[in-house]
């Protein structure tokens, strides 16, 4: 039968081997983390590049506003009569320079239809009617005033 004796030298060599193995494991873990971070950076860069190319392509394919037919704003002729009866009005919104978006708005169900572009015209402001009595706004303001 053999006897194994551990000397101080053998103990140091075993401890050194264990430390070396631990250092190799830490170095491998650091290398994996660095590689994963680099791969994530590449994936983000490629994704951003593809998104910008796609966005630019869609922008170029959509056409410019200058090529849109800009007819004058037309009044909607309804079969039943006025807005009070039909509850459908025409809305014009400034879009780009002298170009406006126009569409019909159904006040009953909130649906928008008939969207098109038009040359913006002058805004017609309604003429205020002269009132002899108190207006509704004055009546509401007076209700909140404190008598002194």
**For 99-122, how does the pLDDT look when each residue is reduced to its tens digit (9 = 90+)?**
888 888 888 887 888 778 888 766
Q: Identify the helix (H) or strand (E) that includes residue 94.
A: strand 88-96
For residue 127, tell me if it sits in a domain: no
For residue 28, tell me if it sits in a domain: yes
- pLDDT category at 143 given cuts 50, 70, 90 is confident
* pLDDT-above-90 percentage for the chain: 26
| Top-confidence residue, 76 or 92 | 92
Q: What's the rounded Cα separation, in Å, for the pair 99 and 123?
A: 13
pLDDT tens-place string over residues 54-80:
998 888 877 655 555 555 545 444 455
* Structural domains in the chain (count): 2
Residue 71 and residue 56 share a domain: no
Residue 75 and residue 44 share a domain: no
Residue 73 and residue 47 share a domain: no
- pLDDT category at 20 given cuts 50, 70, 90 is very high
pTM of the model: 0.34
Q: What's the rounded Cα separation, in Å, for the pair 72 and 121?
A: 8
Q: What's the rounded Cα separation, in Å, for the pair 53 and 22?
A: 47
């Amino acid at each position: 039968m053999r006897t194994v004796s551990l000397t101080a030298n053998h103990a140091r060599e075993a401890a050194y081997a264990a430390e070396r193995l631990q250092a190799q494991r830490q170095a491998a873990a650091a290398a994996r983390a660095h590689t994963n971070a680099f791969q994530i950076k590449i994936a983000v860069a490629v994704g951003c590049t593809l998104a910008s190319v796609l966005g630019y392509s869609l922008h170029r394919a959509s056409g410019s506003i200058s090529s849109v037919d800009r007819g004058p704003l037309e009044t909607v002729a309804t079969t039943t009569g006025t807005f009070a009866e039909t509850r459908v009005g025409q809305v014009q919104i400034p879009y780009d320079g002298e170009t406006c978006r126009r569409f019909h708005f159904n006040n009953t169900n909130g649906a928008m239809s008939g969207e098109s572009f038009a040359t913006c015209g002058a805004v017609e402001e309604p003429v205020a009617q002269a009132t002899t009595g108190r207006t509704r706004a004055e009546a509401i303001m007076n209700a909140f005033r404190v008598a002194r």
